[in-house]
A and B are shown apart, each in its own frame.
Chain A
C-alpha cells in the first residue's frame, strides 16, 4: 500500500511540476499570430499546390495578411480559387478586391535562330542568370532571350516551354495564370504580364533591344530599330518610343493593327487575330520599295509577319 502511495504521490508531483514548466514556457515563448491568418486560410482551397508561389495555403494566407498590413493585395492571386476566392480574402482583410483584369505572360523577343545568328558559343552553366553575367550571351543582341529556359524552370504551371526550333520560350496561354514567376526569373525582363485583351487579342512589340537602329538590326533581323513609324501611324497615341524602343500601351491600344503594317522590321506582333485576308499583300509591296537600301532583310522578315497571326490562331500559344 505504502509503495503505491509513494509512487502515486511522486508521479503526481512530477506531473504537476512539468505541467507548470510547460505552462510557463508556452506563455513565455507564445507566438503572436494574427487571427486573420486562420480565417484567410479557411477560405483558401487548401490544395497546398504552391501555385501562388508561397509554401502552401498557410504560407499564402500569411503573405496576404502581411500584404494587407502594408496596404495592398496586389500581385497576390490564388490560381486555383481565382477571383472569387480573392474577393473573400479581401473581405476578411477589409480591403477591396482588385478587379484584377486577366493577364498573361508575353515573351517580348523574336530573336529566333534564323533572325538572330549565334556569334559565339556559351560554354557555362545553362542558366540565364549566369549566361547574362558572362557577356552578351550567344548572339550580338545584349537584350534578347538567352534561351537557357530559366522561365521554364520557374513556371509552376507548366505553361511556358522552349521551342527547340526558334530557341525561344513560348507561353501556353490556356495554362498561364499570370503569377509572374517567369518575369522575375528572366534576368533581362523580356517577359511582361499584359492584359489578356478581348478574345485574347493584343498587339505586342516583340523586342526589348535599346540599341540604336543599325546596331540592333545587325544583331537581329527582327529587332525594333526605333524608327518611330508605328508611333506616327498610331491614331490613339498608344505607342511610345523610348531608348530606340517602341512600346504599346495595352490600355490605349484599340487593336487596329495599323502599326503592324507600318513596322519595317516585323517587330510588332498581332496575337490571336484571325488570319488576314489575302488583301494584306497590298501594303507590303510599297513598303519594300520605301526601304530599298535594305531590301533583303525586309523581305526575310515580311513572311514572318504574315504567318505569325496564322500560327497564333491555329494554336493559342505564342
Chain B
C-alpha cells in the first residue's frame, strides 16, 4: 500500500451536511421573494440587491485579509451573500448607493467581523445594518416607493407604509405583496413559500416562526380588546393584517431564525419567538416607530445566551416512571 493509514476517533462517516449547503438553501428560499421584488419595484430593487450583496462580500473579504490577516477567505461559506441579501430585503428600493454601502459596512464590519466572524456574533448582522441606517437616515429609510414603477430608481414616487394605515389596507394586497415597503418584505405569500423550502430542506425547524406569528397575533388581539374601540371580528382582521404587513413575515422566517443568534433548544426557541411577537406588537401599537420587528429581534438576540442557559434540552431519563 502506498499511503499511510489514517487514524482518527469515531465517527468515521459524516452526513455530508455543510455550512455552505445550509446557506445555499437559505438563498434558494429567498429567491421567490427576491424575484417578486424585482417585478414589483423594478430596476431599483435590482440595483439595491446587487449593491448590498457585492459590498457585503467585499467587506468580508477585505476585513478578513487586511485586518484579521486570515490566510483563508471565509467567503466560500456563503454567509456574506445571505447577509447581503437579507440587508437588501430590509431596504427601500430607492435608497442611494452610498447609504447601502454604509449599511453593508456596518453589518459586516461591526455586526459580524468585530465579534470574530461567523458564529461569534451576538446580533443578527443584517438587522444591525438596517437599524443603523434607520437611525442614521430615518427619512430615507421610511419612505418607500409605490409599487410597479419598473424603470425608476432614485426618482421613484414614494408613499407611506401600509402600517401607518393598516385598517385601510387590503388583506389580499398584503398577502400577495401588492404594496409599498422594503424590498423583500412585501409578499407574505412568497416568504411563506421560502419558509416551506427551509422546512423541507431541514435548514430550520418550525418553532421560531410559528411562535412569533402566534404570539404576535394573540398579543395584538389582546391589546386591541383592552383598547376596546372595535368589534371582535374587526380586531381579528386587523391582527391578521399585522402578521402580513411590514417586516413581520420576513423577520419571523428569515431574520429571527438566524442560527447564530437564536436559542439552541426547541423550548428556548418557543420562548424566544413568543417574546419577539410580544415586543413587536408593543412597539407597533405603543412605540414611536410604526415598525418594530428589527428592534424586537435584536432585543431578543441579546437575551439568547440567557435563554440558552435557562432552557436545557430534555435529558434522557429525566422523568423516569418506575
Q: Judge A-B direct contact (beta carbons within 8 Å).
A: yes
B1-31 contacts to A (CB < 8 Å): 3-9
Instruction: Report the stretch among A116-124, A183-191, A239-247 that lies at the interface.
Output: A116-124
A130 within 8 A of B: yes
Asked if A120 contacts B9 (CB within 8 A), the reply is: no
A133 contacts the other chain (CB 8 A): yes
> Whole-angstrom distance between the alpha carbons of A124 and B5 in the complex?
13
Complex interface: chain A residues within 8 A of B6 (CB): 120-123
Q: Which of these, A120, A130, A133, A134, contacts B4 with CB under 8 Å?
A: A120
B3 contacts across to A, CB distance below 8 A: 121
Q: What is the distance, in angstroms, from B263's C-beta to the closest C-beta of chain A?
A: 27
Interface of B is mostly: loop
* Contact present for B8 and A124 (CB under 8 Å): yes
Q: Which residues of chain B come closer than 8 Å to A122, judged between CB atoms?
A: 6-8
Q: Do B9 and A121 touch (CB < 8 A)?
A: no
A130 and B6 CA atoms in complex are apart in Å by: 15
A133:B9 contact, CB within 8 angstroms: yes
Contact B7 A130 (CB under 8 A): no
Residue of B3, B6, B9 most packed against chain A (CB within 10 A): B9
In this complex, how many residues of chain B approach chain A with their Cβ under 8 Å: the count is 7
Interface size on A, residues (CB 8 A): 12
Interface string of A4-19 (1 = CB under 8 A from B): 0000000000000000
The residue of chain A having its C-beta at the shortest distance from the C-beta of B4 within the complex is A121
Residue of A nearest to B5 (CB): A120
Min CB distance, B5 to chain A, in Å?
5
Q: Are B7 and A123 in contact (CB under 8 A)?
A: yes
**Consensus secondary structure, chain A interface:** mixed
Asked whether any CB of chain B lies closer than 8 Å to the CB of A99, the reply is no
Closest Cβ neighbor of A124 among chain B residues: B8
Which chain B positions have C-beta within 8 A of A123? 6-8
Task: Tell me the chain A residues, 126-150 only, with Cβ under 8 Å from chain B.
Answer: 130, 133-135, 138
Closest to A133 in B: B9
Task: Name the residue of chain A whose CB is nearest to the CB of B6.
Answer: A123
Q: Is the CB of B7 within 8 A of A135?
A: yes
Query: How far, in whole Å, are A60 and B281 apart by their CA atoms in the complex?
Result: 52
Q: Output the nearest chain B residue to A118 by Cβ-Cβ distance.
A: B4
- Which residue of B is nearest A135, CB measured? B7
Give the distance in Å from the alpha carbon of A123 to the alpha carbon of B4 in the complex: 11
Which B residues lie within 8 Å of A118 (CB)? 4
- B5: A residues at CB distance < 8 A: 120-121
**How far is B9's CA from A135's CA once the two chains are assembled, in angstroms?**
9
Q: Which residues of A contact B4 (CB under 8 A)?
A: 118-121
Q: Using a CB–CB distance below 8 Å, which chain A residues touch chain B?
A: 118-124, 130, 133-135, 138
| Interchain Cβ contacts under 8 Å between A and B, 26 examples | A118-B4, A119-B4, A120-B4, A120-B5, A120-B6, A120-B7, A121-B3, A121-B4, A121-B5, A121-B6, A121-B7, A122-B6, A122-B7, A122-B8, A123-B6, A123-B7, A123-B8, A124-B7, A124-B8, A124-B9, A130-B9, A133-B9, A134-B7, A134-B8, A134-B9, A135-B7
Leading 9 A-B pairs by shortest Cβ distance: A124-B8, A123-B8, A123-B6, A121-B4, A120-B7, A120-B5, A121-B6, A120-B4, A122-B7
Instruction: Give B contacts to A, CB under 8 Å.
Output: 3-9
What 20 additional pairs, Cβ within 8 angstroms, besides A122-B8, A134-B9?
A119-B4, A120-B4, A120-B5, A120-B6, A120-B7, A121-B3, A121-B4, A121-B7, A122-B7, A123-B6, A123-B7, A123-B8, A124-B7, A124-B8, A130-B9, A133-B9, A134-B7, A134-B8, A135-B7, A138-B7
